[in-house]
Every structure is written in structure tokens, then in C-alpha cells.
């Protein structure tokens, strides 16, 4: 899983498009057999992910910058993505 087939270089995305890509990615991620992952992306993509699935990490006006590193647990139930928990920034 190395490519984001939902992203199009010739189409400007709206917030709802990014959230749809985030949700699709997380649904694919939990289907994998590996237990630990490193996700590398633009700060805006990760910030949109946290806005929906871990809003407390964005409290007090915090932002996700490119090259910021976070760790999180991806929770699933019956093969379906449920939540991100224990999200924290690595300083």
C-alpha cells in the first residue's frame, strides 16, 4: 500500500474529499496483517484526519505541520475502522 489512488493531481480537493480519502485509507490500513505502520503524508492530510478522528490533538489552535511526527493506535472492530486513540505528538 504505497499509492493513494483516490488523489488526483489535476483536481483541487475540498475538505469533504480529503476526509473521504482519509476514511478510505484507514479502512484499508486495518485490513493489513502488519501490526505497526509508519504513515507519511502532508500536514494538511494528517490534520484533516485528526480533525475527524482525534480532535483533542488539535485543541487550543494546535496545527499539524509537515514533518511533525505522531503516534496513535488504530482501533478496529470486526474488520472495520472504529477510532484513533492515544494520539500524541513525538517531540
- Span of 2-6, 11-15, 35-39 with lowest mean pLDDT: 2-6
Distance CA 13, CA 52 (A): 17
Q: How many CA atoms lie within 13 A of 54 on its CB side?
A: 22
pTM: 0.82
CA atoms within 13 A on the CB side of 64: 24
What is the spatial distance between Cα 63 and Cα 50, in angstroms, rounded to a whole number?
10
- pLDDT tens sequence across 32-73: 888 889 998 888 899 999 999 999 999 999 999 888 999 999
Q: With 70 as the cut, is the pLDDT of residue 88 above it? A: yes
6 versus 17: the higher-pLDDT residue is: 17
Whether the per-residue pLDDT at 6 is higher than 70: the answer is no
Query: H-helix or E-strand containing 74?
Result: strand 69-77
Amino acid at each position: 500500500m504505497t499509492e493513494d489512488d483516490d488523489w488526483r493531481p489535476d483536481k483541487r480537493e475540498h475538505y469533504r474529499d480529503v476526509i473521504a480519502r482519509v476514511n478510505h485509507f484507514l479502512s484499508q490500513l486495518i485490513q493489513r496483517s502488519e501490526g505497526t505502520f509508519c504513515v507519511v503524508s502532508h500536514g494538511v492530510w494528517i490534520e484533516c484526519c485528526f480533525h475527524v478522528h482525534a480532535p483533542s490533538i488539535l485543541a487550543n489552535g494546535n496545527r499539524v505541520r509537515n514533518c511533525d511526527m505522531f503516534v496513535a493506535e488504530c482501533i478496529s472492530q470486526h474488520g472495520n475502522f472504529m477510532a484513533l486513540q492515544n494520539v500524541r505528538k513525538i517531540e
